[in-house]
Amino acid sequence: MTPMLYRATFMHTPLDPFREADALHVQEDGGLLIGGGVIRSSGDFAALHAAHPDAPVTDLRGGVLLPGFIDTHVHYPQVRIIGGLGMPLLDWLDRCALPEEARLADATYARAVAREFLGGLARNGTTTALVFGSHFAGAMDEFFDEAATSGLRTVAGQVVSDRMLRGELHTTPERAYAEGKALIERWHGQGRARYAVTPRFSLSASEGMLDACAALMREFPDVHFTSHLNENRAEIQTVRGLFPDARDYLDTYDRAGLLGRRSVFAHSVHTTDRELHVMAAHHCSAAHCPCSNSSLGSGLFPLGRHLAAGVHVALGTDVGGGTGFSMLKEGLQAYFMQQLQAGDRVALTPAHLLYLCTRAGAQALDLQDHIGDFGVGKAFDAVWLRPGAGSTLEAVLQHADSAPGTLAALYANGTQADVARVWVGGDPVYDRPHTPSGTAVPAGMP
């Protein structure tokens, strides 16, 4: 297949800015040579064009090309209930989330929701997501089927619970195991789909249920694991009462054998030093969800303590406790929340925000060798941000005097409307309606 040459100003973070200086790599008027959906070569456009004069050129000047965003915590059944403001977690679950999740018993309803959900990801430049699924196996088949059509990368699993929710959402450990096994055999590794074993949280999962999850993890060692952890004080108190022998919330998962480098715990707002130490020792990741934490009033995520303990951190939108699919907004909110920290503040730079939205997510999913940056050999998963003509963001970018300044402006001002085109594995998965081809470069734009 003839390779394609993409001409763009691109930025990415192949290094971890929390550990290394100069993690933000910027290529003004750059080129990315793509063959078979993979980056074959990268650098200065003129040099690449001279070396590959026959490669067709896609001109993406007049904007910025970034690696596709990676959302490490987002609920598929909750897309229609975004915006349930004014409640703490457990009330919000009872009043907003769980009644809607029960509706996914209907496969036709589930399919429509899956389509809306996947469309929301793609329109916002998210190319990979760790997706909290539905309690219904049938709804997961609908989801994976729609995900294949969407072209997005998804790591998703049936959510399992056997107490404290609503009867319709409960299952048994035996059934959870059997349905999970069938779903893994049907979907894990098919195209761009992967499976995540997903007990909702220890509050709604008995020891027997967590053991059933662990049995799946043992039988299929390359699947992922995700759940919630230490989001809300009332939740933590309830978990303490349900697991009197556990040392803490994390221990409820640890005792079942559910911690590993593919384990992602959402929220981790009130996590103790002991728990952080154990998470780091097992190479677990935390999915920080700052919009959700703000909306549900869950608390200020202790990023500094996670980093100091060596716990890997990525970002999640947590739709629908969160407020939408935009990873730009999520990054900005992460920055805001660090600004509001009293003592333990981590000053997040634009490079940190880009890293948290891209490569950090890849690492949380143990997919850092395949996605997350524009290194040679990585899949071409990308988002082209190009503000609309006459927009405020266009005006700001025209006057940005540095690459970090441009990136900061994208986080401060960028929305779904600025996402012009999105690719996964070199395949276009979203094209903004009525987008000019990208050949005309507004004066002053990068």
Nearest approach in angstroms of CB 342 to ligand XAN is 24
HSE-CB at 116 with a 13 A cutoff on CA atoms is 17
Q: Which helix (H) or strand (E) holds 39?
A: strand 38-44
Residues making contact with Zn ion (CB under 5 A): 266, 318
Close Cβ partners of 159 (under 8 Å, ≥ 6 residues apart):
132, 133, 134, 135, 198, 199, 200
Residue ranges of the alpha helices (H) in 41-106?
A: 45-51, 89-92, 98-102
**Residue whose CB is nearest to ligand XAN in the complex, by number:** 321
CB of 75 to Zn ion, least distance (A): 6
Q: Minimal distance in Å, beta carbon 414 to ligand XAN? A: 24
Q: Are strands 153-157 and 193-199 parallel, antiparallel or unpaired?
A: parallel
With binding defined as CB under 6 A, does residue 231 bind ligand XAN? Answer: yes
Per CB under 6 A, 66 contacts ligand XAN: no
Residue whose CB is less far from ligand XAN, 20 or 91: 91
Provide the minimum distance between the beta carbon of 200 and ligand XAN in the complex, in angstroms, as a whole number.
5
Burial category of 163 from C-beta neighbours within 10 Å (exposed 0-12, middle 13-18, buried 19 and up): exposed
Q: Does 228 bind ligand XAN (CB under 6 A)?
A: yes
Q: Determine if the peptide bond prior to 426 is cis (ω within 30°).
A: no
Compute the distance between CA of residue 122 and CA of residue 65 in angstroms, rounded to an integer.
15
Segment 184 to 213, residues that bind ligand XAN, using CB under 6 A: 200-201
Q: Which residues contact 434 (CB under 8 A, 6 or more apart)?
A: none
Q: How far is the CB of 166 from ligand XAN (least distance, A)?
A: 12
Question: Any contact of residue 75 with ligand XAN (CB under 6 A)?
Answer: yes
Under the criterion CB under 6 A, does residue 160 sit at the interface with ligand XAN?
no
Instruction: Note whether 318 binds ligand XAN by CB under 6 A.
Output: yes
Q: Which is nearer to ligand XAN, 17 or 302 (CB)?
A: 302
Residue 100 interacting with ligand XAN (CB under 6 A):
no
Question: Is there a contact between 156 and 365 (Cβ–Cβ < 8 Å)?
Answer: no
The nearest distance, CB 316 to ligand XAN, in angstroms, is 9
Amino acid code (one letter) for 264: V
Q: Which of 89, 212, 309, 360 binds ligand XAN (CB under 6 A)?
A: 89
Closest separation between CB of residue 189 and ligand XAN, Å? 27
Select from ligand XAN, Zn ion, none the partner in contact with residue 231, using the beta carbon and a kind-dependent cut-off of 5 to 8 Å: ligand XAN
Query: Minimum distance between the CB of residue 13 and Zn ion, rounded to whole angstroms?
Result: 25
Q: Which of residues 146 and 318 has its CB atom nearest to Zn ion in the complex? A: 318
Q: Are 312 and 269 in contact (CB under 8 A)?
A: no
Q: Which stretch binds ligand XAN (CB under 6 A): 32-40, 64-72, 89-97, 187-195?
A: 89-97
- Contact between 314 and 70 under an 8 Å Cβ cutoff? The reply is yes
Query: Which residues, other chains included, contact 221 with Cβ-Cβ below 8 Å and sequence gap of 6+?
Result: none
* Number of Cβ within a 10 Å radius of residue 218: 9
Residues 271-300 as x/- pattern, contact with ligand XAN by CB under 6 A: ---------------------x--------
What 8-state DSSP symbol labels residue 97?
I
Q: How many residues bind ligand XAN (CB under 6 A)?
A: 11
Buried/exposed code over 42-69 (b: 16+ C-beta within 10 A; e: otherwise)? beebeebeeebeebeebebbbbbbbbbb
Q: How far apart are CA 273 and CA 147, in angstroms?
A: 38
Q: Binding residues for ligand XAN, per CB under 6 A?
A: 75, 89, 93, 97, 200-201, 228, 231, 292, 318, 321
